[in-house]
Amino acid sequence: MGDLTDRLAQGLPAGAVVVDPDVTAAYRHDMAGFCAAGAPAVVVFPETVEQVQHVLRTATALRVPVVPQGARTGLSGAANAVDGCIVLSMVKLNRILELDPVNRIAVVEPGVVNAELSRAAEELGLSYPPDPSSWESCTIGGNIGTGAGGLCCVKYGVTSEYVLGLDVVLADGRLLSTGRRTAKGVAGYDLTRLLVGSEGTLGVVVRAVLALRPAPAPQLALAAEFPSADTAGAAVCEVMACGLTPSLMELMDAVSVRAVNDLGRMGLPETTRALLLVAFDGPDREAGLARVAELCRAAGATEVVPAEDEAESQLLLEARRLALPALTIGVVSHAGDGNTHPIVIFDGSDAEQAARAQRSFDEIMALGLELGGTITGEHGVGLLKRDWLARELGPVALDLQRQLKAVFDPLGIMNPGKMV
C-alpha cells in the first residue's frame, strides 16, 4: 500500500492521491442496485493525460486493478470498485478543448458534464443531441463508457453515433488515437466504435472528438393520458408507423407519475394509468403534435393536453427527467425506440425484498430476450447484467470479446469483473 501511494504521488499533484477511508468509501459504487462493491486502496484525481498515463504505468508495474469513474451516475455497476483497486476519477479532466462550428465538432475531455457541452454548443447555434436524464451531472466520459442514450434518441440517436474519435490511455500507459475529425473515414478497423460502450475495460478515454448538429427549434410537447399501458403502447406504434418523427416520445406508468409529483410537485394527472409525452422540434412541430393528438385519441387516450408554449413543454420534459430519482417501483420508457426502463427499488437490508427484487429483474431480462430484444439499450452491462450478457451473445461472440479484452489488457487490470 505504501509503495503504491508513494509511486502514484510521484507523478500526480499534491492532494490528487486520496487514501482516507471515509473519502474513498464514497467512490465505491455508482447508482446501480444488486451490485457488489469493493474497497478501493486509493482514489486518484489526475488533471492531465500524462498523469493518467502515469497512473496506468504504475498500476501495470504493481499489477493493481484500475476502475475508471466519471460522475458515478451509471445504473449497471460498471464504476463499482474492486478490493484493493485504484479508483481513477476523471472528473478533473473537464475542459472543452475546441468547438468548431464549420466542421461541427467538439473536442472535449472526459470529465465535461453533458449539459455544459450542450449549452456551450447552443451558443454557436449547434447542439449535442445525446441527453441522458442525468445530463446535468453525468460526464461525457461516462456517456461514452456506457454507450448512453437519452430522451431525444428516438430522433437523434445515441452517444455512439456522435463519437468520431478518441484518445485512450491503454493499460500499459500507451496513448492510442482512434477515429477522425472528418465527416467520413473508413481507414482500418473501427476501434472507436469498439471502445464506445466498453466501460473502461479496454482503456481510459482522455479526449473525445464529438459530432455536433445544427440547433433545432425549441420543442413543443403534449401529454396524453391512457387507461392502460396497452392502449398507450398502441398509440406509440401508430405514431411510428405513420411516418412521424417526434424528437421525444416518453412513456411513464402510474407509479412513475405519482413519484414525480411527490418529489417535484409537477401536477401530473394521477388518474392516468400511463402517460405519454411527445415532443417535436422541427418546422412542422405544430402539425406533428396535432397528428399525434389524433392518433392518441383514436388509440384510447382519455385526455390529450398540448403544452401552451415552449416553457410549459420544458416543464413536461423535466417531469420525465425526475422519474429515476423519484421512483419507488415503476417503468419509464423511451417509447419511440422501444427502450424500456423497468426500475426495481428495494431495501437492500431486507433479505426477502432483495430476493423478490432479484427474481423480478431476472424475469424482466428473460422476457426481453424472449421477445427478440436486448438486455441493455444504453446503460451498459457492468456487473448488473454480466451473467445475462453470455445468454444474449452466445459462446462464440463471448469468446471473441474475451480475446479482444486480452489484446488491450493482457494483465486483466482494467475494470476487472465488468462485462466479460
What residues does each domain of the chain span?
2-89, 96-214, 220-344, 358-408
Identify the DSSP state of 346: -
Burial of 355 (0-12, 13-18, 19+ CB in 10 A): exposed
Identify the DSSP state of 113: B
Dig out the grid coordinates for 4 from the structure.
Answer: 503504491
User: Alpha-carbon Rg of the chain, whole angstroms?
Assistant: 22
- Crossing angle for the helix pair 2-9 and 49-62, to the nearest 10 degrees: 150
How far is the C-alpha of 99 from the C-alpha of 82, rounded, in Å? 37
Identify the DSSP state of 208: E
Q: Does domain 220-344 have CATH number 3.30.70.2190?
A: yes
CB 343 within 8 A of CB 364: no
Dig out the grid coordinates for 224 from the structure.
Answer: 396524453
Length reported for the chain: 420
How far is the C-alpha of 88 from the C-alpha of 399, rounded, in Å? 28
Nearest CA to 137 out of 7, 321, 12 is that of 321
Q: What are the residues whose beta carbons fall under 8 Å from the beta carbon of 140, sequence distance 6 or more?
A: 108, 109, 110, 111, 112, 113, 114, 117, 208, 210
Dig out the grid coordinates for 124 from the structure.
Answer: 454557436
Strands 66-69 and 86-89: parallel
pLDDT of residue 138: 96
Burial of 273 (0-12, 13-18, 19+ CB in 10 A): middle
CATH number listed for the domain at residues 2-89: 3.30.43.10
**Measured CA distances, 91 to 45, 106, 112, 360 (Å):** 7, 18, 7, 34
Dig out the grid coordinates for 17 from the structure.
Answer: 492521491
Q: Identify the CATH assignment for 96-214 out of 3.30.70.20, 3.40.80.10, 2.60.40.4070, 3.30.465.10.
A: 3.30.465.10
3-class secondary-structure state, position 179: strand
Burial of 294 (0-12, 13-18, 19+ CB in 10 A): middle
Q: What is the pLDDT of residues 352-400, one digit of tens each?
A: 988 898 898 899 899 999 989 998 888 888 888 888 998 999 999 999 9
CB 154 within 8 A of CB 246: yes
How far is the C-alpha of 258 from the C-alpha of 267, rounded, in Å? 9
Per-residue exposure over 182-216, b if at least 16 CB sit within 10 Å of its own CB, e if not: eeeeeeeeebbbebbbbbbbbbbbbbbbbbbeebb
pLDDT of residue 48: 98
pLDDT of residue 44: 98
pLDDT of residue 326: 65
How far is the C-alpha of 241 from the C-alpha of 295, rounded, in Å? 11
Sheet holding 175-179, edge to edge: 96-100, 105-108, 204-211, 163-169, 175-179
pTM of the model: 0.88
pLDDT-flagged residues of the chain (< 70)? 324, 326-327, 329
Identify the DSSP state of 146: H
CB 337 within 8 A of CB 161: no
Dig out the grid coordinates for 100 from the structure.
Answer: 468548431
How far is the C-alpha of 330 from the C-alpha of 136, rounded, in Å? 23
How far is the C-alpha of 223 from the C-alpha of 257, rounded, in Å? 12
pLDDT of residue 94: 98
How far is the C-alpha of 400 from the C-alpha of 411, rounded, in Å? 17
